[in-house]
C-alpha cells in the first residue's frame, strides 16, 4: 500500500484535479485505489459525483475522538466504479483542528487509521486542503510520496518553503521522510511567462520534479463539473493523457520507494543485530573429519560447519554468532563428543552432556 498526499497550501494550484485524475488513472491501470478527501470544501467528493452534504460517514468520523461519532475507515468508503473508491469529506472536517488543539499524537491519527485498514489497497491518494493545519500535517505524516502541484503563474512558488519546513519538521520529530515530487500544472506552453516559471520551478526542485507536466485543458474543468474523472469524461483529451502519464510515473516512483525502504529496513536490521566472530577448535591427530553442531545450526551436520584441519592435529571452524547461550557438540568421524577444552557443560534430555558457549553482547 502506497500513500500519496497531494499537498500545497496555495489555493487553486490543481491539487483536487490531480488527486481525482491520478486516482482514476491508477484505477484504469487495475490498481485498487482509495481517494480520501481531506478538504472540508469537499471538492474531490463532488468531483467524483458524491455530495458531502448527504454522506452519512466521512473521513471526519475516522479522525474524530468523539466515541459516539467514531467509525472505521471501511465504513466511510464509497465505490465509485471498478477499483476506484472514495472516502468522502464533510463540512465537520473544518472543526477537527479545534478538537485536537494541543493533543499530543494527534498528528498521527490518519497514519494510525490507515495502518489498521483491512481492505487491501494499492494506492491511497490524499487530497489536502489549501492550508498547513492539522489535516495537511496528518496527510504528510501518513504519506510515502508527497505530490506538490505547482502552477506556472505569478506567486505560485510563494510559500513553498513553508511546506518544505513542515515536511522537515515531520522528519525531525517523527523520523518520517516521505519522498517529495513537484508537478507542474495548468501549464500553457504558448506563453513566455509560463516558460520562465517552468525553468524557475525546475531550478528549485531539481530532480524532485515529475517529467510529466499537466497542460492547461478546459476538459479537466468540464469533467469536474460533471462529477467525473477526465478519463471517463473524455478519454482522448490532453487532460486524460497527461494524468495517465503521471500515473505511470507514480507507479515507477512507488517501486523505487519500496526498494529504498527495503534496503533501509535491511540495514537497520543488520545494525541492530551485532554479530561476533568465534572460532571452534578441536585437537585430534587421528580424526578424518570433524564438524560442530549446536543450537545455532539446528544440530545438523553440513559443509558449512565442517572444521578445517590445520597443523599439529588442530581443527578449526570460524563462525559468526549473535550474543546468546548455545549448546553444541563436535561430531568426530561420526561420533558425537563434548568439547574437551570447555569445562562449561550441561546435561541434555538424551542422557548425554552438551558443551555450552556463551557470547556476551
Ligand atoms: N490543467 C488544468 N487546466 C485547466 N484548468 C485546470 C487545470 N487544473 C485545474 N484546473 C482548474 O483550476 C481550478 C482549481 O483547481 P483545483 O480545484 O484542482 O485546485 P486546488 O489546488 O485543489 O484548489 P483548492 O486549494 O481550493 O483546494 C479548478 O476550477 C480546476 O478545474
Ligand atoms: Mg482542492
Ligand 1, atom 29: closest residue by C-alpha: 221
Closest Cα to atom 3 of ligand 1: 216
Q: Is 110 helix (H, G, I), strand (E, B) or coil?
A: helix
Residues 204 and 202: their CA atoms lie apart, in Å, by 5
Residue 352 phi, psi dihedral angles, 5° rounding:
-105, -170
* Nearest-angstrom CA–CA distance, 248 and 252: 6
Ligand minimally distant from the alpha carbon of residue 37: 2
Q: Rounded to the nearest whole angstrom, what is the distance from the C-alpha of residue 14 to the centroid of ligand 1?
A: 4
| Residue among 6, 7, 14 to mutate when testing ligand 1 (max atoms within 8 A of CB) | 14
CATH class of 276-359: mainly beta
Q: Which atom of ligand 1 is nearest to the CA of 214?
A: 1
pLDDT in tens, the chain (361 residues): 999 999 999 999 999 999 999 999 999 999 999 999 999 999 999 999 999 999 999 999 999 999 999 999 999 999 999 999 999 999 999 999 899 987 878 999 999 999 989 888 999 999 999 999 999 999 999 999 999 999 988 888 888 889 999 999 888 888 889 999 999 999 998 888 888 999 999 999 999 999 999 999 999 999 999 999 999 999 999 999 999 999 999 999 999 988 887 887 777 777 667 788 899 999 999 999 999 999 998 899 999 999 999 999 999 999 989 888 999 999 999 999 999 999 999 998 887 899 999 998 7
Residue found under cell 476506484: 84
Measured distance CA(31)–CA(53) in Å, rounded: 29
Give residue 159's pLDDT: 83
CB of 223 shorter than 6 A to ligand 1: no
- The cell numbers describing 201, all together, are 520551478
Q: What confidence score (pLDDT) does residue 86 get? A: 98
Q: Which atom, in ligand 1's list, is nearest to the CA of 11?
A: 25
> Cα dist. 324→259, 327, 329, 337, 361 in Å?
32, 10, 16, 22, 8
The protein residue whose alpha carbon is closest to atom 28 in ligand 1 is: 221
**Spacing, Cα 79 to ligand 1 middle (Å):** 24
Cell readout for 125 is 491518494
Q: What is the DSSP letter of 306?
A: B
Ligand at minimal distance from the CA of 9 is 1
DSSP readout, 207-275?
A: TSEEEEEEE--HHHHHHHHTTS-HHHH-TTSHHHHHHHHHHHHHHHHHHHHHHHHHHHHHHHHHHHS--
Q: How remote is the CA of residue 331 from the centroid of ligand 2, in Å?
A: 71
- Using the structure block, give the residue that is written with the C-alpha cell 472543526: 95
Q: Which pLDDT score is estimated for 40?
A: 96
Q: Which fold has domain 2-270?
A: Rossmann fold (3.40.50)
Instruction: Identify which ligand lies nearest to the alpha carbon of 12.
Output: 1
How much distance in Å is there from the Cα of 174 to the middle of ligand 2? 27
Cβ–ligand 1 distance for 224 under 6 Å, the answer yes
Query: Any idea where the domains of the chain sit in the sequence?
Result: 2-270, 276-359
> What is the whole-number distance in angstroms between the Cα of residue 68 and the centre of ligand 2?
29
Question: What is the CA(12)–ligand 1 centre distance, in A?
Answer: 5
Amino acid at each position: 500500500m502506497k500513500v500519496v498526499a497531494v499537498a500545497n497550501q496555495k489555493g487553486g494550484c490543481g491539487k483536487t484535479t490531480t488527486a481525482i485524475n491520478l486516482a482514476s488513472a491508477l484505477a484504469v491501470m487495475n490498481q485498487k485505489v482509495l481517494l480520501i478527501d481531506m478538504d472540508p470544501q469537499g471538492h474531490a467528493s463532488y468531483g467524483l459525483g458524491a455530495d458531502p452534504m448527504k454522506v452519512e460517514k466521512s473521513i471526519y468520523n475516522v479522525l474524530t475522538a468523539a466515541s459516539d461519532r467514531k467509525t472505521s475507515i471501511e465504513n466511510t468508503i464509497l465505490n465509485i466504479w471498478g477499483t476506484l473508491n472514495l472516502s468522502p469529506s464533510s463540512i465537520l472536517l473544518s472543526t477537527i483542528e479545534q478538537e485536537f488543539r494541543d493533543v499530543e499524537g494527534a498528528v498521527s491519527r490518519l497514519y494510525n487509521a490507515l495502518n489498521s485498514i483491512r481492505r487491501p489497497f494499492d494506492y491511497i491518494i490524499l487530497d489536502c486542503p489549501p492550508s498547513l493545519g492539522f489535516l495537511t500535517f496528518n496527510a504528510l505524516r501518513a504519506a510515502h510520496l508527497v505530490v506538490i502541484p505547482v502552477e506556472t503563474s505569478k506567486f505560485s512558488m510563494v510559500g513553498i518553503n513553508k511546506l518544505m519546513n513542515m515536511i522537515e519538521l515531520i522528519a525531525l520529530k517523527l523520523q518520517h521522510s516521505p519522498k517529495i515530487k513537484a508537478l507542474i500544472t495548468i501549464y500553457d506552453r504558448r506563453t513566455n511567462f509560463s516558460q520562465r516559471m517552468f525553468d524557475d520551478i525546475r531550478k528549485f526542485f531539481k530532480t524532485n520534479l515529475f517529467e510529466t507536466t499537466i497542460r492547461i485543458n478546459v476538459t479537466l474543468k468540464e469533467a469536474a463539473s460533471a462529477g467525473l474523472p477526465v478519463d471517463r469524461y473524455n478519454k482522448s483529451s490532453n487532460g486524460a493523457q497527461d494524468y495517465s502519464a503521471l500515473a505511470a510515473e507514480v507507479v515507477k516512483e512507488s517501486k523505487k520507494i519500496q526498494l529504498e525502504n527495503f534496503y533501509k529496513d535491511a540495514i537497520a536490521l543488520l545494525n541492530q543485530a551485532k554479530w561476533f566472530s568465534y572460532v571452534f577448535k578441536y585437537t585430534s591427530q587421528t580424526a578424518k573429519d570433524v564438524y560442530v553442531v549446536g543450537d545455532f545450526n539446528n544440530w545438523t551436520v553440513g559443509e558449512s560447519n565442517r572444521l578445517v584441519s590445520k597443523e599439529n592435529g588442530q581443527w578449526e571452524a570460524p563462525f559468526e554468532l549473535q550474543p546468546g547461550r548455545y549448546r553444541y557438540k563436535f561430531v568426530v568421524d561420526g561420533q558425537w563428543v563434548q568439547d574437551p577444552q570447555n569445562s562449561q557443560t550441561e546435561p541434555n534430555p538424551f542422557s548425554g552432556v552438551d558443551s555450552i558457549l556463551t557470547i556476551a553482547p
